Structure 1
Amino acid sequence: MDAVKRDRAEADEQEQPPTKTLKVEETGAAKEEDSKQPNPDADAKAQDDESKQSKHSHPKQRFAVLFGYCGTGYKGSQINPPHDTIESEFMKAAVKAGSVSEDNIDPKKVGLNRCARTDKGVHAAGNVVSLKMRAIPNLVEALNAHLPPQIRVYDCLRVTGSFNAKNHCGGRQYEYFMPTYILKKSSHTLYPHSNLPEDSNEAAQPLTEGCELGGSYVVVDSPETHEELRKFRVGQDELAHLREILKTYEGTHNFHNFTVHCKFKDRHAGRYITSVTACEPFVRPDGTEWISLRVNGQSFMLHQIRKMVGFAVMLVRTGTPANLVARVYKDEKINIPKAPALGLLLRKPLFDSYNKTHKEKHADRPEIDFEPYQHLIGPLVEEWINKDMYKEEIEKHVYKGWLDGIDMRNLDYAWWLTKDGSIRTDLKPAGGVKADEDGDEAGSKKTFDDE
């Protein structure tokens, strides 16, 4: 009986289908079949992961980035949220190129520093920033591919981990371009204590009734006026006077009057200027005569070069002697107008000491020098910087507008534009003078950084 039961049980077990085993097998087969089907989302994720892994596989290194730019349309060079600046444009390009991760777009995280900071609208044929980036292939080409054409990277050079673009920079070369009509003599009526003859340009600037000092300025803006300015040619006497003034800037002096938010006793007011020269005038195709001033120095404060130019222009157009320059290095505070940003160009920074020091230790690394890149710098300067500068002057008469603004505020300046170069504080307006506008730095109040 027991044998019969065992036989039946064995028979039932053999006839029963292995459902669980089939389910497992079918499920496994289904998964294997599904895995063979194309999955666009998974493929895209895999490619993205592979791309990220490829980018992260490149080591981070410190680079000195040599670049140039046309500053028109930007609120200066230094990163200053929420404003559009040259450096913010560069950082966005670095992220898109894959040399900086999106998490590290903060300049502090990549150790970003620059050798010179430029104002709103100021251009640079050569500037240097240093930061940590991934050494991706074709780094220069990748950055330029994501930058606007008015900003060009010339090269990215490997530097030591301790390299600081500002601290290792030994000097800066600037150039200022201006039409020579800016040196045309003004009116004795506006600046009665100057060396201007009493019959110079009197008809255009009648006196304001009851005005104790100077007169009112009538702005004359017409095609005939612009044509007259285009025909103006600076004389040799004015050129000689200009060069005499520029010479007095050379050496170490207290430039507290040539910047903002700076006092006479501030230690950073002292600056060393290597040379300041006025080149020979040249005539543009539209008939306007221009001149460039070249300024070489160790470092410069905010607005310093533009105020140096503005001060020299005021002395020439009023016939004020050059000995006034030595007096403004003293503690008396005067208000100096700053020349338009349009004409200022950072020609290049210098790293002579750094190159000499590190040549022996790192002979395999190239020097930080802009000379090898002149074939790249020339087209940028001519096609963007110069073209933009001359075009804006022709269309907007920037320099005439600047002169008009100064002459309308002649009371602010007439008291220190004197025949003997003395500062007549007794002639200073009782209500004080209006401070020079400081709107080019998008709210920045630093004085110790460069133009």
Structure 2
Amino acid sequence: MYGVTLDLEETTAATTSATDTNDDKNLETEKKDTVKRKVALLLGFLGTKYGGFQINPEQKTIQAEMELALYRSGMISKDNFGTQHKYSWSNSARTDKGVHACAQVCSLKLELPENDWEAHTDNNTVEERLVGARQRLQKNLPDDICVISMNRTTRNFCAKTQRDRVRYQYMIPSFLLHPDWRTIMTEQGVDINSGREARENYSKMPLSVEMATKIQLILREYRSTEDNRNLLQSALKKYEGTHPFHNFTKNIKPGQPQGQRFIESFEVSDPVIVDGMEWIPTEVLGQSFLLHQIRKMVCVAVDIARGAVPIEFIDKALSNKENLALHVAPAQGLFLEMSYFDGYNRRKNSQSNHDLLDLNWTVDGPVKDRWIQFRDVVRDHIVQEEKNEMNFIQYLFR
């Protein structure tokens, strides 16, 4: 179902060393004729090779790759390179290590030739004016980062503060709902009860590759039932509304206001079978999410759907009087699917900025087509990653 290949305009892999002596020669535009204006970038990326989105001096990150590509494309100056506030960088979400996205939004001031900002015909939209700049930027990015759209915005646009809602998808392999997975592991010679303290170091694989592969071949044949999918939906529905989610993150205590979050919807889609394994897509829409919140919500709901805990456990986890330690589902099933800026669009249009396109990537057209294409790439990657690395098998064992 998700077997597609990524087709980006003139995509090439960029080297990641910021000390490349040829950087100055690679600048593609001359500064003397450039004009600096605010834009919004709609980005897609596969997070497997990165330590998260935000710049971290000790790890390879998506933001660092973006900054290097912007510099090599001549869109930020040498003086501003490495100092993000000088070009007003902001991003709408901070994704964890290993999490993917097809709708991360970043705002910044770009230096582009005046010709890039101008429409060449009366029918050109603002998005079409920046196609050349988007393609130049894409050429300097690795092939696991995609610039889906580049739109000019108002001067005061900020991706972090002006996003209204965000939708994430978590793909659950159906075998997580298998009621007898412990019996299957035991029958294969796995001691699931011993050595749990020794397995707390998650940097080590608790199951050998051979054993994990053997168990995966058995569990991948499992198909979810209507009953456990309904139970999964009932559990996810309990998160909807405004609740304290201090138990679903870390470093927030019961009663602290920053733990309050509003969930608009949490839905289960029909299962799909890819390469012989069934997956259950889920979508959660909310204003904002805490660190690990979605992965912990999924973990508890899966335990309920499997019959490991009663559905009333969620009421306890959402209580302001409880302080619980909850497990975290693997990052590999999660991706940021869509970002919404309805409030910004209304304010922009009320101020007669009609020459600027709305930040709405759900409208039919080339941008939506690229977004759908990259979303399928993300889904395909999740399926292949589980086949190769067996992260969810290891998660069950731990």
TM-score (norm 1): 0.70
Contact 1:307-1:336 at 8 Å conserved across structures: yes
Cα deviation, residue 201, structure 1: 8.7
3-state secondary structure, aligned to 2:170:
strand
Q: Distance in 2 between matches of 1:71 and 1:165?
A: 20
Report what 1:399 is aligned to. Answer: 392
Pick one of 100, 104, 128 that aligns with 2:105: 128
User: 1:71 aligned to 2:47?
Assistant: yes
Pick one of 347, 360, 367 that aligns with 1:357: 347
Change beyond 3 A, Cα 1:226–1:111: same
User: 1:177 aligned to 2:171?
Assistant: yes
Change beyond 3 A, Cα 1:161–1:321: same
Unaligned runs of 5+ in 2: 1-23, 117-131, 195-205
Q: Distance in 2 between matches of 1:269 and 1:356?
A: 29
- Aligned pair count reads 338
Greater RCO (CA < 8 Å, at least 6 residues apart): 2
Unaligned runs of 5+ in 1: 1-47, 191-198, 210-217, 406-451
Pick one of 258, 262, 266 that aligns with 1:268: 258
3-state secondary structure, aligned to 1:177:
strand
Q: Distance in 1 between matches of 2:298 and 2:316?
A: 17
Q: Distance in 2 between matches of 1:277 and 1:128?
A: 23
Change beyond 3 A, Cα 1:89–1:233: same
Cα deviation, residue 162, structure 1: 1.6
Report what 2:271 is aligned to. Answer: 281
Change beyond 3 A, Cα 1:208–1:156: closer
Contact 1:144-1:153 at 8 Å conserved across structures: yes
Change beyond 3 A, Cα 1:82–1:260: same
Report what 2:374 is aligned to. Answer: 380
Pick one of 273, 292, 312 that aligns with 1:303: 292
User: 1:95 aligned to 2:71?
Assistant: yes
Identity %: 32
Cα deviation, residue 235, structure 1: 1.2
User: 1:368 aligned to 2:340?
Assistant: no
3-state secondary structure, aligned to 1:354:
helix
Cα deviation, residue 316, structure 1: 2.2
Report what 1:389 is aligned to. Answer: 382
Change beyond 3 A, Cα 1:224–1:128: closer
Report what 1:3 is aligned to. Answer: none
Pick one of 86, 95, 105 that aligns with 2:62: 86
Alignment of 1:322-361 (within 5 A): 322-330=311-319, 331-361=321-351
3-state secondary structure, aligned to 2:339:
strand
Change beyond 3 A, Cα 1:53–1:324: closer
Contact 1:150-1:380 at 8 Å conserved across structures: no
Alignment of 1:235-246 (within 5 A): 235-246=225-236
Change beyond 3 A, Cα 1:402–1:58: same
Change beyond 3 A, Cα 1:243–1:165: same
3-state secondary structure, aligned to 2:368:
helix
RMSD after superposition: 2.6
Select the structure of larger CA radius of gyration.
1
Report what 2:305 is aligned to. Answer: 316
